[in-house]
Structure 1
Amino acid sequence: MATSNRNLDKSPSALIRHNVRQLKEQTQKLQTNAKEAVRRMPVVLTEQQLKRLKEHKYASEGITLFDPIMQEFWKWLVEYCPLWVAPNLLTIVGLALNIGTSVLLMIETDGAKEQCSRWIYFLTALGLFIYQSLDAIDGKQARRTNSQSPLGELFDHGCDSVSAVFVTIACCCAVQLGVYPWLMFWACILSYFAFYAAHWQTYVSGKLKFGRLDCTEAQFSFIVVYFICTISPGFWSKSIPYLQIEYRIFVALLMIGSTLWSSFNNIRAISQGGCGRNFSSVAGTSIIFPGWPIGFVIFLAVVASNYSTSRVLEEHTSLHLLCYGIVFSKITNRLIVGHMSRSPLNGWDTSFVGPLAVCINQYFNLFIDEHILLWLFLLYNLYDLLRYNIKVCQELCDFLDIHCFRIKPSTTPPTNQNH
């Protein structure tokens, strides 16, 4: 009888259950250790900021051209999303797919200078469309599951700031704009600035204002570019009849023109004054000061690109612009937190270390190879961005007693089923 019991214990189903149980225990232990490690990091948000974040209410105005049409699709799509799926989980999955396909395109086009396989262009279009869809339904999913919180808005805009960098560079790679490095430089830098200016305006007025042509339309424009590449990879190197201008130059000029127009509209709105006392920002501070971080980063990027001894912009175009894009994402996230918590911005940020190190290395003719330094710059700023974002999410989750990627069981039923 004892032998029979031992054989039963060693049966395949019992072993599988035992292994699954062990795996669960190890996973929970890793999660606990990771949470404790994050909690031991230096505090980012003050008690006052946390209280104001809790009180924050989303405010926006304006509607884009495609939104009325897409809203019907998004309402239909969210119905197929299980109720146990957390809204932030949708956003991060979409972002991961978008980044993955964009990075693949950057690698395969050799820094935006060569064509690549048609299926990579198609995958990049698909990754962007999935991100757009999941990013659009996360708020609807939050209302369906009664899990709305300020963390959702913060997480959504933070992911958008990262996506904006990869999407812009990937589009330039698709049209092989790297053969004109300075044109690609300004197309990307001005796109970063336009996104930052939109949140600068929000920090001043307290409302996120959408134009008739905004993020949704820009994303569909990029998807169209990827589909054209899928059909004819060499299309963008051809010239427009009679004008003798390559199609890729036309795309770059269109990007520059649209971002300048968007930036002009936001700066004009900023110049009209803020919603605070004496026309100050939401934090009661200067409406001009938020221009300092982005202006400083752009200045350092121009200096590093112009005075590089090894021509890093020309030789490593995508990598170079990605480095400064990660810095842009960090200072944009700081601005978003500043707006939602109605708190002043600091003049210094740790993300400035990378751009300053590059300029110092150039000025003093140090022995560090610029290509190697660029990789160190990227790794440091990725760490700096992730550290900041993870810590902000952890502190806000602890304060609100919620989970970032899990829905906490609600004690009250949803009050609003309209989504």
Structure 2
Amino acid sequence: MDNPRHDPYLSKESLDNLRFYRYSAVDKSPITKYVLRHWWDHAATYFPTWMAPNLITLSGLSFVLINVACIGLYESDLKTPGPTWLYLSFALGLFLYQTFDNVDGRQARKTGTSSALGHVFDHGIDTLNCPLGGLVQVASLGLGHSVNGAFFILIGCVPMWLSTWEEYYTGTLYLGYINGPTEGILIAVGVHLISALFGPRIWHTTVDLSAFVPLVSHPLTLIECFNVIVLIAVFVVHAPVCFMNVHAACKSKSLSFTSAISQNLSFAIYMGLCWLWITSPYSSLLSSTRGSVPPHGGLIEFTLLVVCTFGRMLPRVIIAHLTHGPFPTLLPSVIFPILGGVFIVSLNQFGW
């Protein structure tokens, strides 16, 4: 008897398309080519053949989850300096996550278990790490439950979404000469190590760049400089490449580039609602809000909500790519939790 519940991504035709699965990726990073690739090849030799690639992927995420648990125990306000070992564990956990994330593919090829399921699982884990890794970064920078902290929690989702959208059309995961999974993670590891050596307050010191950058008329904190670097990396370096590659793919396949761009609207709505909730003067997510519960703010809890919703949203695009299905629309299970938060804080404007 047929299942009355019908999901177009699980239809027989979609499942049949999995037979054509071929993993395709390009990584032009010199650091990957000349340094990390050799480390990952060596690390892969330590994993027994009975260990499933997906188990390696999940084990990598567990290091980040341990970091998040330590934040809850030792630095729940995301601001008070923690012990030195805490930031060292952040650096080690993220580096091990990167290592395991690259070893799993080698394990799959070694054991002959490469599959579309492994592709979805691997990229799905990467999706979860975007907000979680951002939260760990917030703690390491000592940003607290602030708008700047929320920025770091959400910003990692942008390149992940754009790369997955790009892969949907091109069929290839393209990683440029400077990319998030390599250089981005190494920079984050460096931030954790600096925080371990000097404490998070080092990032709140000011520097005068007016002699080098005439447009900057006043001293900036290191965090403000870091914000600018992240924005340039995402929207000036990464995003244009994604759009150019999708444009070329649409042109070669006689597809509408305008239609392809419009498919980013669902993600824009999702991010916009998240930002409205965070920045609302009636929101209790930030530590500056009077009477917030918990008193230090709720960015940790908000991060877990983003993990659940973004982790539900993006893998559907991956599945659509693997099964040659239509680009997915915004799910109620993704939008309603965020929309509900915006609605509740908006009620305060009317005295409710």
The TM-score bracket by the shorter chain reads 0.7 to 0.9
SS at match of 1:81: coil
1:323 to partner: Cα distance: 2.4
Give the letter for the 1:82 counterpart. Answer: P
Runs of 5+ unmatched residues, structure 2: 210-218, 288-296
1:57 aligns with 2:22: yes
Aligned to 1:355: 338
Q: Distance in 2 between matches of 1:151 and 1:337?
A: 9
Percent identity for Structure 1 against Structure 2: 21
SS at match of 1:312: coil
Aligned to 1:100: 66
The 8 Å contact of residues 140 and 200 in structure 2, kept in 1 or not, is answered as no
SS at match of 2:113: coil
1:305 aligns with 2:285: no
1:241 to partner: Cα distance: 4.0
Aligned to 1:113: 79
Aligned to 1:320: 302
Q: Distance in 2 between matches of 1:160 and 1:339?
A: 16
Give the letter for the 1:267 counterpart. Answer: F
Number of matched residues? 326
Distance verdict in 2 for CA 1:275–1:303, change over 3 Å: same
1:339 aligns with 2:312: no
Aligned to 2:90: 124
Q: Distance in 2 between matches of 1:124 and 1:52?
A: 40
Aligned to 2:294: none
SS at match of 2:10: coil
Please give the TM-score of this superposition, normalised by the length of structure 2. 0.83
Distance verdict in 2 for CA 1:107–1:289, change over 3 Å: farther
1:206 aligns with 2:175: no
1:254 to partner: Cα distance: 2.1
Bigger radius of gyration? 1
Residue by residue, what CA displacement relative to the aligned partner does 1:271-302 show, whole Å, maximum 9, x if unpaired? 44527742258xxx941243022111012112
Q: Distance in 1 between matches of 2:5 and 2:193?
A: 44
Aligned counterparts, 1:283-298, within 5 A: 286-298=259-271
Q: Distance in 2 between matches of 1:308 and 1:345?
A: 35
Aligned to 1:274: 250
Q: Distance in 2 between matches of 1:132 and 1:42?
A: 37
Q: Distance in 2 between matches of 1:77 and 1:199?
A: 27
Aligned counterparts, 1:9-408, within 5 A: 45-68=10-33, 69-105=35-71, 107-178=73-144, 181-214=146-179, 215-243=181-209, 244-261=219-236, 262-274=238-250, 277-280=253-256, 286-314=259-287, 315-349=297-331, 350-365=333-348
Distance verdict in 2 for CA 1:310–1:297, change over 3 Å: closer
Aligned to 2:290: none
Give the letter for the 1:355 counterpart. Answer: I
Distance verdict in 2 for CA 1:358–1:67, change over 3 Å: same
1:356 to partner: Cα distance: 1.4
Please give the TM-score of this superposition, normalised by the length of structure 1. 0.71
Q: Distance in 2 between matches of 1:253 and 1:108?
A: 29
Q: Distance in 2 between matches of 1:100 and 1:188?
A: 17
The 8 Å contact of residues 273 and 342 in structure 2, kept in 1 or not, is answered as yes
Q: Distance in 1 between matches of 2:61 and 2:200?
A: 28
1:234 to partner: Cα distance: 3.9
